[in-house]
Amino acid sequence: MTIAIVGAGLGGLLLARVLHVNGIDAVVYEREPSRGARAQGGMLDVHLETGQRALREAGLIDRFHTIARRAGQDLRLLEPDGTLLLREDTPDDAPLDRPEADRADLRDLLLDSLPDHAVRWGRRFESAADGLLHFADGGSAPYDLLVGADGADSRVRALLTDARPAHTGQNVVELGIPDIDRTHPDLAEMVGRGNYWVLGDGRSLSAQRNGDGRVRVYLSFHHTAEDWLATNGIPFGDPAAARARLIDLFGDWHPRFAALIAACDDTVLPRPITTLPVGLTWPSTPGVTLLGDAAHLMPPVGQGANMALLDGALLGLALAAHRDDAPAAVAEYEREMFERTAAAGRLSARIQDVLASPDAGRQMLAFFQPG
């Protein structure tokens, strides 16, 4: 059986790895020209019962522990006036329940665990018909089972469902402070070793320390239109002017948050947030399935990468258990995946509602400290 995986993201690579350790060959087709072609983004918290479970099934948990950052679990929660609502510092002997890992390190770990020929770079999937994949470069390749692991804007998805991601009303601008310990030690102290969240009044600021000393800063604007990033007057082509405009948009917040924005470098990236309907399913179709964001794009509140990793592991295990019956393996995988990811989607939507509420800080505090 020829298994073709479209997309060398976390989910697709985890699937390829689980198949590899079970002696099943698969080919991953990735549109990027090489592994280093695109910066991979920030930190991910990898949960014990989902993302870490997947890495354990893939025989990679020990290697994961070498890249996991325990202190990344630290959390500071504040209100826009600077009031500290919650501070959690991770003890040195705390369990690794939700350590942070650099997305690039995690992807490298997965790529290094596969034979060189497993990933074909520079192959942008366009369509599939009659057992052949067609790529943007005019090439084609045969398949018996096609797994769409091609992320939020999946092209494989259209083979199974008409559902499309829809805007959530949240628009994010990503910025960052490089080498913060050296360049801005005062702000490094303020942000701490893990996550720093300021929540309130339909806007939020989150800062997150990465393994390489960069602090990524995400500014969120809730209840905004799909075209808001294009129409709100943030000049993305002029980073200094964009920072000035963003400081203006947070002008009624405590001045320490403006200082954080002012310290950022010239990376100013617009990120509209879209999601698929919670609980999306499709009739099981021989020869094609989806995993990760392609199947269940959720708000970015800590579930998506974990679900993608576990999807990859469980689909790989199902295919190993039903070697001569791929349709049975896919049906078994989809049954579990639909239920598990619908629950994760509902939880993510609830957190998203809290983040968008007028008193988000207090509501989030209640979420962390119920009762």
Ligand X SMILES: Cc1cc2nc3c(=O)[nH]c(=O)nc-3n(C[C@H](O)[C@H](O)[C@H](O)COP(=O)(O)OP(=O)(O)OC[C@H]3O[C@@H](n4cnc5c(N)ncnc54)[C@H](O)[C@@H]3O)c2cc1C
Binding residues (CB under 6 A) for ligand X: these are: 6-12, 29-32, 44-45, 124-125, 149-151, 155, 292-294, 300, 302-306, 308
Residue 191's nearest CA partner among 170, 205, 174, 171 is 205
Nearest Cα to Cα of residue 302 among 47, 86, 61, 74? 47
Query: Closer to ligand X at the Cβ: 10 or 190?
Result: 10
Q: How far is the CB of 150 from ligand X (least distance, A)?
A: 4
If the CB atoms of residues 6 and 356 are measured against ligand X, the closer one turns out to be 6
Q: How far is CA 186 from CA 195, 196, 266, in A?
A: 16, 14, 20
Q: Is 54 exposed, middle or buried (0-12, 13-18, 19+ CB in 10 A)?
A: buried
Q: 3-class SS at 128? A: strand
- Is 293 within any annotated ligand binding site? yes
CA 17 to chain centre: 19
C-beta of 182 vs 234, nearer to ligand X: 234
Cβ nearer to ligand X, comparing 86 with 347? 347
Q: How far is the CB of 235 from ligand X (least distance, A)?
A: 22
The reply, when asked if residue 70 is annotated as ligand binding, is: no
Joined tokens for residue 93: 């002997």
Is 45 labeled as ligand-binding? yes
102 annotated as a binding-site residue: no
Quote the least distance from Cβ 307 to ligand X, whole Å.
Answer: 7
Residue 92 one-letter amino acid: D
Write down the least CB distance from residue 214 to ligand X, Å: 14
Closest approach, Cβ 272 to ligand X, in A, equals 10
In this complex, which beta carbon is closest to ligand X, that of residue 208 or of residue 281? 208
Rounded to whole angstroms, what are the CA distances from 66 to 9, 43, 101? 20, 15, 10
Cβ neighbours around 173 below 10 Å, total: 24
Binding-site members are: 38, 45, 103, 293
Annotated binding residues for NADPH, written as ranges, equal: 38
Binding residues for FAD, by number, are: 45, 103, 293
